[in-house]
Amino acid sequence: MALRLDVRTAFFLLLLAVTTVLVSRIVVPFLTYLLAALLLAFLLYPIHAHRHDLEAVNLRIGWYMSEADLWATVEEDGDPGRTRFARATWLGPHDCRDVHRKAATVDLPENPVTVNAVSRNDDRFHPITETMRLLGYEPRENSAEVLGG
């Protein structure tokens, strides 16, 4: 049995195929990542942790960069919004190691937990109070000190 298509139907199917390819290459990866992150952090991790009696720490990591990369981002990029974001969300190498070590070794008072992992930045907008309280995290690095104010 042969499939017969009129011109309009063929054009519509071609347009649908092209749109699907474009959307899957641009929009879908981001939405898939976002949906997967939300599902894992807020739905699947708690269920899995309670079912298997595990302690789970979800770290919401800011922007991990070395000091040299932070300098390069701030100096080379003329976008003030990007510079402000880098200064606010920077997670330095020492603090990154420390927060991961704390997350892996702490006895949690509640379970599971989702906490922010950024350095002690003056311009920080992600709160780290819960990270400090639950993990005993004490950040030492500060983007303002690295960049000289």
What tens digit of pLDDT does each residue of 35-91 get?
676 666 666 677 777 778 888 888 989 999 999 999 988 888 678 888 899 999 999
**Three-state DSSP state, 138:** coil
Same domain, 114 and 61: yes
Q: Are residues 49 and 59 in the same domain?
A: no
Q: Tell me the C-alpha distance between 98 and 116, whole Å.
A: 13
Q: Are residues 47 and 89 in the same domain?
A: no
Q: pTM of the entire structure?
A: 0.70
Mean pLDDT along residues 93-114: 93
Least confident of 30-34, 73-77, 115-119: 30-34
Same domain? For 59 and 46 the reply is no
Provide the residue range defining the domain that includes 128.
55-149
Same-domain pairing of 77 and 125: yes
Check if the beta carbon of residue 67 is closer than 8 Å to that of residue 146.
yes
**Helix axes 80-89 and 67-76, enclosed angle (nearest 10):** 160
Closest CA to 98 of 110, 88, 106, 86: 106
Residues 88 and 136 in one domain: yes
Instruction: Note whether 66 and 47 are same-domain residues.
Output: no
Looking at the 3D structure of the chain, how many domains does it have? 2
Phi-psi bin for 139: left (phi > 0), alpha (psi -120 to 50), beta? beta
Q: What is the CATH classification number for the domain harbouring 142?
A: 3.40.50.720
Residues 59 and 107 in one domain: yes
